Each structure stands twice: as C-alpha cells, then as structure tokens.
Amino acid sequence: MAMLLPGMAHAAEPTASGEFSSSDFTESDRCMQCHAILGTQWEGTMHSNAYVDPFYLEEFHAASEDTDGLVDSFCSRCHTPIGVVAGEIPPADGSQLSEIAKDGVQCDFCHTVSGSDGTGNAPFIVTPGDTKWGPFKDSNSAFHESEYLELHTRSEFCGMCHEVTHPVNGLLIDDTYPVWKNSSYAQEDVSCQDCHMTPGITGFEANPGRAGSGAPQRDHISLHSTVGGNAFVTGILGADKQRDMAIERLEKAATLDMDSPETATKGGNVTVGVSITNSGAGHNIPTGVSEIREMWLEVRAADAEGREIYAAGTTNANGGIISANTIYNNVLGDSEGKPTHSFWLAESVLSDNRIGPKETVVEEHAFTLPEDVVYPVNVEATLKYRSASQELIDHLFGEGVHEVPVIDMAEVSGAIYDPDSPPESRTQSQSSPGFTVFAAVAVLLIVYAYKKQ
C-alpha cells in the first residue's frame, strides 16, 4: 500500500528504472551554494560515497557475476538511485553512469522524494523538478519551490533502503528498520533521525541553526552527517571526520558489567561473567549487512606482575580472532545450507546471536589461578567491533592492501584478591562504554554549572 502523504506529487508507484534522465536532477555543488553547512556535513559520509565505496563495488560486481545481472538494479537502487531512475545502470561496470549518479545518495535525490510505496527494497517515488520536499511547513527559497512532506520526518524514509529482502526468495537480509519498528524506541517515538541526524547520538538533541543562507533561525536543523558505525570505508576514503564520528557512535552503543569473585585461592577455579547491553542503538548490534560484521568480547586476566593467566578473543598477526566465546552477527546459508558471506546467494539464516535494542547477554569465562599467582589478579573485558573480517577484506582486495580497524566499543575491569588481604584494601570493578558514562555525566554537570553562572 503506497504511503499517500502531504506534498505527494506523483502516482503512488515506485519510480521505475529509466523513468527520468540524470539531467533532471541538480548537482550537489549547486545545492551547496545556499546550503553550504548541510552540504559540508554530507560530504565524506557513507551516503555521499554510497556508489564509490570500494567494498560495495567489489561485492556488487561479484553479485552481478554470480546472478547474471539479476541484482544490478536491485543493489544500485540504494547505492546510485539517480543512476537507476535514469536508466544508466545496468551495465554493472558503471560505464554509462553520469557524474551526478556517482554522487550516491545526494541532496537533490533525497529532496525530490515525494512519497514511497512503503519500506524495503527502495520503493521511493521521486519527482525531480523545481519543487523540493523537506521537513518544514514554512520553507521559502528564491531558487526553488518548497513543500512539506511528513515522510522526511519519519523513520520510514530511512526504512526505504535500510530494510532489504532477497529479490527472489524474500529472505530478510538487512533488518535495521524492522527491528527498530518492533522496539521500544518506536513505541516511544524515537526515530532514526533522532539519533542519526542530531548531535545526541543515542537520542534527540536539538541543533539550532539555519537550513541555508537567508533561511530563518530554527530550534533544530537536522545534521546531514548521518553517521553509522563504518570506520573502515570512511577511513580508506580519507573521510577522517566521518571515521572519528563512527568510532564515537560505536563507543556509545553498548555498556559492559562484570561479575567476578572478590577473592580466590591459589590453584582455585574462577568464573567471571560479563554482561553486554545494547544500551545505545535502536536496532541490533551489529546491524546492516551483519553477516560480515564482527563483534566480540576480548577477556584477559593477568596477575600483579603482568603474567597472563587467561586470554580469549585476542587477534593474531593475520587479524584472526582467537578463542572468542561468541562472534556476534548472523550467519546466512546458501542453497546447500553452507555458511556464506554472499547475501545474494543466501536462502536461509543459520544462526543469529546479535544483541537487540536494550537487550543484555552474558558471557562466562572460566580459568584457574596458578599456585604462584601474585595478587591482585586484574581481569579486563573489552567489546570489540570491525566492519568485516580481515580475511574477507584480504580475499577481496589482496593481502595487506587494507587493514580493517578494530574498534573498542566498551570495556570493564575487575580485580581478584588474596582471601587473606584486608577488605579495606580492595577496590571495585570499573566499567566503561567507550567514552565512559561517568565522563559524560561529568561533562553535563560542567555545562550545567556554566549555564547557571
């Protein structure tokens, strides 16, 4: 059922391939003449690099070859939407793409969206021309007409591309929007835009400003940096600001707590429980093409002289993960029921242990204290994340071409003492969600004190 919203100016069917020409759309450079701040925020983002993303292109070309071109328009509809509606792709090699189509999810494309046929697999309706659609009911521009469209203020706008089902068998491949839709965030009316288009990261925070030169001052202007958790591609493309923002977002997505014994005897067995809570994301962690994502817990224990007693989830020289209890992602199966990283070949979900919004999972780690242990024993747990395995990136690009950064999302530590030590000499465990909650509270208190002056 099509979404008939205010400002709809087109038949309620998704815009077809080849329905328009790329010359019907306005280049982002021209938009930035009046919307310089928003345009600068957009530059370097995964939206702006949606087509030129080298990882996407490697995967896309492999998918095109494996499916005899079946997915060419399917994948491109989100990665080069102008290229699709202009009929410039296929061919998959991009040889017919105009420069504006290579701009990925660019200004004029989003602001000529005049409606949608629901969510999932890019059912957008675009009406290129003099009218631009957006979130304000009172916009005026000397360059173009402006219309309010409620869709621009809702998660359904994002859900057009951040919900993907297999074009043949209907398997749900990217469930970012559906998971949000079924979460408490949706029930509390916390939208995708509230977290991804404001300074708040884990919730709405106003960003006062102007949408463009000569525009009125408003209480809130949506940020167009729209950052997710991709510190890999932004890094190799030299988008350092967006890479750093992605790392900050990952650092605020989860929190850890540790349950460890306060004391343990030499030669005794120790069991440590580490709780991982998805405290800051309105979707699963990880999300997106999560069959290639890797999130895991590294746990280390060492005595007071630094001698290692226990280690799990460390990485070797080749980037492989050693002895992690769990790799948090989903595993897709091909037609033979074998695991595959190629979602276009997937026909089933073999397993899914991602952590849902506000959900907590617990890992247990057990080890034995040596007879010659020197107290106290320090136990550290760190939640790790990377966009793809090093093995997969080496396979696609060649060994040593790109190193996938491993991001520390959160950490927690605890100490185990000699049972004969005085209780007053023992300290409590310390936890940290990347940028610690305690530090964040301290900053808020400083800001509050400053405003009271």
- Per-residue confidence at 366, pLDDT binned at 50, 70, 90? very high
Say whether pLDDT at 9 is over 60.
no
Task: Mark whether 166 and 265 lie in a shared domain.
Answer: no
Say whether pLDDT at 427 is over 90.
no
Question: What b/e sequence results for 108-141 when a residue is b if at least 16 CB atoms lie within 10 Å of its CB, and e otherwise?
Answer: bbbbbbbbbbebbbbbbbbbbeeebbbbbeebee
172-174 and 164-165: which strand pairing? Answer: antiparallel
Say whether pLDDT at 117 is over 50.
yes
The pLDDT assigned to 230 comes to: 97
Angle of helix 54-66 versus helix 390-397 axis, rounded to 10 = 70
- Collapsing DSSP states into helix, strand and coil, what is residue 69? coil
Residue 450 in any domain: the answer is: no
Task: Mark whether 47 and 142 lie in a shared domain.
Answer: yes
Residue 452 in any domain: the answer is: no
Task: Mark whether 132 and 212 lie in a shared domain.
Answer: yes
Q: For the segment 77-103, what is each residue's pLDDT rounded down to a tens digit?
A: 999 999 999 999 999 999 999 999 999
Residue 449 in any domain: the answer is: no
- Per-residue confidence at 431, pLDDT binned at 50, 70, 90? low
Domain count, the chain: 2
Average pLDDT, integer, range 173-200: 97
DSSP letters for 419-453:
TTS-GGG----EEESSS-HHHHHHHHHHHHHHHH-
Residue 451 in any domain: the answer is: no
Say whether pLDDT at 7 is over 50.
no
Can you tell me the distance from the alpha carbon of 38 to that of 230, in angstroms, rounded to the nearest whole number?
20
Q: For the segment 187-196, what is each residue's pLDDT rounded down to a tens digit?
A: 999 999 999 9
Residue 6 in any domain: the answer is: yes
Can you tell me the distance from the alpha carbon of 49 to that of 225, in angstroms, rounded to the nearest whole number?
12
Residue 401 in any domain: the answer is: yes
- Residue 274: half-sphere exposure toward Cβ, Cα within 13 Å: 29
Residue 90 in any domain: the answer is: yes
Say whether pLDDT at 291 is over 90.
yes
Which of 217, 252, 287 is the endpoint of a domain?
A: 252
Tokens of 271: 């069991």
The pLDDT assigned to 432 comes to: 54
Task: Mark whether 264 and 410 lie in a shared domain.
Answer: yes
Task: Mark whether 218 and 295 lie in a shared domain.
Answer: no
Average pLDDT, integer, range 435-444: 38
Task: Mark whether 242 and 318 lie in a shared domain.
Answer: no
Task: Mark whether 51 and 192 lie in a shared domain.
Answer: yes
* Percentage of residues in the chain having pLDDT higher than 90: 89
Say whether pLDDT at 442 is over 50.
no
Which of 252, 273, 302 is the endpoint of a domain?
A: 252
Per the structure, the complete domain to which residue 236 belongs is given by 1-252
Task: Mark whether 294 and 246 lie in a shared domain.
Answer: no
Say whether pLDDT at 329 is over 80.
yes
Say whether pLDDT at 387 is over 80.
yes
Task: Mark whether 31 and 73 lie in a shared domain.
Answer: yes
Which CATH number covers residue 329? 2.60.40.10
The pLDDT assigned to 355 comes to: 98
Average pLDDT, integer, range 209-233: 96
CB atoms within 10 A of CB 313: 22
Q: Beta strands of 290-404 (E only): which ranges?
A: 294-302, 308-312, 314-315, 321-322, 327-328, 330-333, 339-340, 348-352, 360-368, 377-386
Task: Mark whether 233 and 269 lie in a shared domain.
Answer: no
Q: Are 18 and 87 in contact (CB under 8 A)?
A: yes
Can you tell me the distance from the alpha carbon of 340 to that of 289, in angstroms, rounded to the nearest whole number?
12
Task: Mark whether 70 and 19 lie in a shared domain.
Answer: yes
Say whether pLDDT at 6 is over 70.
no
Average pLDDT, integer, range 140-161: 96
The pLDDT assigned to 237 comes to: 97
Which of 217, 233, 252 is the endpoint of a domain?
A: 252
Task: Mark whether 226 and 328 lie in a shared domain.
Answer: no
Based on DSSP, count helices (H) and strands (E) in the chain, helices before strands.
14, 20
